[in-house]
Structure 1
Amino acid sequence: MVQKQLPTGFRDDIGAVAERKDDVSQYLLSLCRNRQYTKISTPLVEYKDVFNGYTLGRGQHMYEFFGSSDASVVIRPDLTMPIGRFLATTNIELPRKFYYLGDVLMKNKQHRGDINQVTQGGIEMVGYEGIDAELECFAIIKEVNESQLNNTLLLEIGDARFSRAITDALGLTDGERTDLLDALFTKYLPRYNELISEFKNNALYPFLMIWPRLFGTVNDIKNELSQVILPAGAQRILDSLMDLAGQIEATGQQVRIDVSTEPLQSYYTGLTFRGYVDGVSQYIVSGGRYDGLLSGFDGTPMPSVGMAFNIDVLTDVLMQGESNIQDNGKLRIALTKGRVEKDFIPLLESCGIDCEPLRNKARKLIIPLGDSVEVILAKGPDVTTYLNNGVVDLGIVGSDVLDEQDNTSYEMLDLKTGQCQFILASLEGYNPKEGRRQRIGTKYPTITKQYFGSQDVEIIKIEGSVELAPLVGLADAIVDITETGTTLRENNLKIYDWLQPISTRLVANPLALKQKRNTIFALIDQLQSAIDKK
């Protein structure tokens, strides 16, 4: 029987949507053609090693298969690196400006609302040194912003060299640098704060404390750094960004600075930039300088700058107009129903927010709390789904849910409620190191797989009372959550190992954090103060 439905992550376009997407594509192509760029088209399929060094998003994979020569080939996830491959294997005279339009494909985790096929339209300026190439990108972005977006796009600039300047000044090893930057870039602040505690006697400690907040307007950055001294190299980079922001603002384009977020690609070597519209949870345009990319193909460095527009996001914004912007002026919080909800209400009230409507919600699932906050009640796993799709700004959810999922949100604060722990438990006489393949019952297959590592176990997913599994012979042991151990003892189960602790966390949608920066940080600071007083 013929499968009549599309695979997860794909969609058909028809009628007005398809026509508008075509209009947007043709507009961008004409814009580049009129600026004397050269059109380039590359195949949809490339050898996998063309994308060596390309950084996929968390939970993403390339569509991979074997070609006729038994070499691994992929459907391209990116359009810049194929152009690098083309230039390394031809004698095209440089410098030169190229433009393109095409689809890229990335396999995302199923059932999260992600799109696997995206149309990009962009430019690559190869062989151009100096700031003029970046200014050319900004001029194109400004033209698109004025003609298509009614000047609502915010341009965000950063520099891939800034984080290196800081970690070099700290004298970190490669492993220490990786750990620190991973916690910073993912805004995993409980872990980040733990890592920087080792530098309390270092002159850079005041900077490290505010580094996760170093994004926003020029004034936001200046205010955060008013009492901080930076290493000379980092200060020069930041001064250049400040000067550039002033030049951009003088043209009428809104601009932000961000030196706390990871560049979208590891091949960026200098200035980076992205553009977004308030209330829209995806970037419309992104790019940067990548002077070392071509050296990966022929060993010859070549100064280059490029950028790409996400045609699908741009089309959606234009199609839906103001209705696309879900921001109603309120901070929207997805709150896990039940115990997490009950524990969070007193913390929210300590911030001066009237939670009476939440205490007396009846069967309502969306509850306004005054003029500034709106709460959406949801199950734990759904909180991250709403966050990842930009439906809410913040989420309140247990770290067990975050650990089990490929979470792409920022983990900003440990609320110190709902504290318990993952454990390995079974009946008396169980041997965790027994040679045979064991059967492990759990609600948390990802955590269980991580715990056992290379040890071969069969994981049985259980949705109900996990404690039953060893009692009825379904599993040799269980990985579950316990607070006091009472249920385990009453069922004659013994704890054989303690895994990671669990507590309730405040997590943020990455773009919402930028769009509502001051509001979100004000709430986080109030919550932290309330936690410290407990």
Structure 2
Amino acid sequence: MMRNQLPTGVRDELGDSAQIKEQIVYTIQNYLKNRGFDKVITPVVEYQDVFEDYDAGQKKLFKFLASDGNMVVLRPDMTLPVARVVSSTNISLPAKFYYSGDIFRINRALSGSQDEMTQAGAELIGFDSIKAEQECLVMMMQLSEKLELTGVQIELGIARFALLILESFIDDESQIKEIESALFQKQITQYNKLIEPFADNELYPLLQIWPRLFGPTDEVLDQISDFELPAEIQAEIKELKQLVKWMADKFPAADVQIDLSAKAPQDYYTGITFQAFSAKSSSYLFSGGRYDHLMAHFQNKNVAAIGLGIDIERLVEINQAGKQKQQRTFIYFDDAQWDDAEQKLTEIPNSQLCLADNLEQAKQIVKAQDGKLLDLSGGD
């Protein structure tokens, strides 16, 4: 009998957790609305084709057959559906959108991750200026302040840094993927073995230090300054340096790092990437990047675009961990005291009307809820 159980990977939310999530989502949405972003709502169910060719489409998805005979899925990602909306409508570009909603990915058993997660975010479509990256960084910093996050660290990267470097001297696609995989997963022994055949290449010294190519911005930029890198990478590094300098000027107290040894947060990112971590969370809270080639997945031409995703689940966990449970006040009253009880309800934070028939029942409710009793009836 499964009537009172949930499938693995999903959960009910109630009480403090549900209220905290609602408040966080409201804060984010209100902030983005006030920045001039327009709300977009996409359905939870999409055709599987929407997510093909990207990592989001290769994950274990919740799939089922639609009435038209096509395979549909519960969306595993929010950016691709927004791109679909833009490509299938007459929306005038450039445009800015914000969203919030649940995404679904079947995670490995016992991994500790939920299959259903809530995500909010923003998409800036039709903007090729570095100002788009700057606005995303501003939003991360300002939202961190609004959400009272502490110990926030910004991490910048280049989505195709590894691919473009390896493609400059390796023709075998499978060999490139092997090296990338070992690098990203920090399988150092395997990685060192895979790069041995390129010991005579002028970039071999870079390959040797690559797994440790992360840390403070000045250190990482100094490490790569001596290498003659592919022209396309040089352009990305120039932009990265611009952002580092801009952040130092705009947010001098910010902790900004660079990581050129990690996989991009999403396969469809093509340029600068950025993530934000907190001292109270081991995984990212904000994550985004430029995806100038994604729109061609839905139409005949590319459109410059950049997005920022926000992990609501992690924000709720941090918020809950930092708050003590507030004792609730239960207002007991006689039937003739409704108006007085309603007035007290507006005056006392975290209170509710106690609907018990008598004072003894009211005391039992308060004891079971570990609350406080406010007796308006004048009883003993």
Contact 1:248 1:254 in 2 (8 A): no
Q: Give the letter aligned to residue 12 of structure 2.
A: D
In 2, the alpha carbon distance for the partners of 1:149 and 1:250 equals 22
Following superposition, the deviation at residue 200 of structure 1 comes to 1.3
The equivalent of 2:130 in structure 1 is: 131
* In 2: Cα distance, 1:32 partner to 1:266 partner: 25
2:227 aligned residue: 229
Moved more, 308-317 or 171-180: 171-180
Q: Retained in 2: the 8 A contact 1:291–1:302?
A: yes
Q: CA 1:90–1:150 in structure 2 vs 1: closer, same or farther (change >3 Å)?
A: closer
Is residue 269 of structure 1 aligned with residue 267 of structure 2? no
Q: CA deviation at 1:174?
A: 1.6
Does the 8 Å contact 2:126/2:303 carry over to 1?
yes
2:157 — aligned with what? Answer: 158
CA distance in 2, matches of 1:305, 1:222: 24
2:47 matched residue in structure 1: 47
CA distance in 1, matches of 2:203, 2:323: 44
Distance between the aligned counterparts of 1:222 and 1:72, measured in 2? 46
Q: Quick one: distance in 1 between partners of 2:46 and 2:149?
A: 38
String of CA shifts for 1:73-100, please: whole Å, max 9, x gaps: 0000001111111112111111110011
Higher RCO (CA < 8 A, seq sep 6+): 2
Name 1:116's counterpart in structure 2.
Answer: 115
In 1, Cα distance between equivalents of 2:114 and 2:129: 36
Kept in 1, the 8 Å contact 2:168–2:230? The answer is: no
Maintained 8 Å contact 2:157/2:273: yes
The 8 Å contact of residues 267 and 290 in structure 1, kept in 2 or not, is answered as yes
* 1:156-201 deviation per Cα after TM superposition (whole angstroms, max 9, x unaligned): 1111232233113323322221111111112121111001111112
Does the Cα contact within 8 Å between 2:87 and 2:299 map onto a contact in 1?
Answer: yes
**Residues 434-473 of structure 1 mapped to structure 2, 5 A cutoff:** none
Separation in 1 of the partners of 2:8 and 2:60?
A: 14
Separation (CA, whole Å) in 2 of partners of 1:292 and 1:239: 20
Instruction: Report the 3-state secondary structure (helix = DSSP H, G, I; strand = E; otherwise coil) of the residue aligned with 2:168.
Output: helix
What is the distance in 2 between the residues matched to 1:196 and 1:218?
A: 26
Q: Is residue 316 of structure 2 the alignment partner of residue 312 of structure 1?
A: no
Determine the C-alpha separation between the residues in 2 that align with 1:321 and 1:216. 28
Deviation readout 1:59-83 (Å, 9 max, x if unpaired): x411000000111000000011111
Deviates more, 1:1-10 or 1:28-37: 1-10
**Deviation of the 1:243 alpha carbon:** 3.1
Is 2:32 the partner of 1:32?
A: yes
- Residue 248 of structure 1 pairs with residue 247 of structure 2: yes
TM-score by length of 2: 0.80
User: Does the Cα contact within 8 Å between 1:79 and 1:104 map onto a contact in 2?
Assistant: yes
What SS is found at the alignment partner of 1:170? coil
User: Bigger shift: 152-161 or 60-69?
Assistant: 152-161
Which stretch shifts more, 178-187 or 40-49? 178-187
**Separation in 1 of the partners of 2:103 and 2:87?**
21
Secondary structure class of the residue paired with 2:322: helix
SS at match of 1:158: strand
Contact kept, 8 Å, 1:145 with 1:152, in 2: the verdict is no
SS at match of 2:303: coil
TM-score by length of 1: 0.57
- Stretches of structure 2 lacking an aligned partner (at least 5 in a row): 325-380
Residue 56 of structure 1 deviates from its aligned partner by: 4.0
| Unpaired runs of at least 5, structure 1 | 324-534
1:279-312 superposed Cα distances (whole Å, 9 cap, x missing partner): 5221101111111111111122111111110111
The answer (yes or no) to whether the contact 1:62–1:106 under 8 Å persists in 2 is: yes
Q: Kindly state the Cα deviation for residue 246 of structure 1 after the two structures are TM-superposed.
A: 2.3
**Contact 2:236/2:272 (CA < 8 Å) preserved in 1?**
no
Q: Give the CA deviation at 1:147.
A: 2.3
For 2:197, the aligned partner's letter is E
Q: How far apart, CA to CA, are the structure 1 residues paired with 2:221 and 2:294?
A: 33
Greater Cα shift, 122-131 or 158-167: 158-167
By how many angstroms is 1:251 displaced?
Answer: 2.3
RMSD: 2.0
Partner of 1:90: 89
User: Could you report, residue by residue, the CA deviation over 1:216-252 in whole angstroms, capped at 9, with x for unpaired residues?
Assistant: 11133146447x4242533443343233112113222
How high is the sequence identity, in percent, across the aligned residues?
A: 36
**Could you say which residue in structure 1 is the equivalent of 2:298?**
297
Secondary structure (helix, strand or coil) at the match of 2:267 reads: coil
Contact 2:149 2:278 in 1 (8 A): no
1:117 Cα deviation after fit: 0.8
Change in Cα spacing, 1:218 to 1:21, as seen in structure 2 (3 Å) is: same
Deviation at 1:57, TM superposition (A): 9.8
Counterpart mapping for 1:428-439 below 5 A? none
2:194 counterpart of 1:201? no
Contact 1:214 1:258 in 2 (8 A): yes
The equivalent of 1:143 in structure 2 is 142
Distance (Å, rounded) in 2 between the aligned partners of 1:194 and 1:3: 53
- Residue 493 (structure 1) aligns with: none
Partner in structure 1 of residue 18 of structure 2: 18
Partners of 1:188 and 1:316 lie apart in 2 by 31
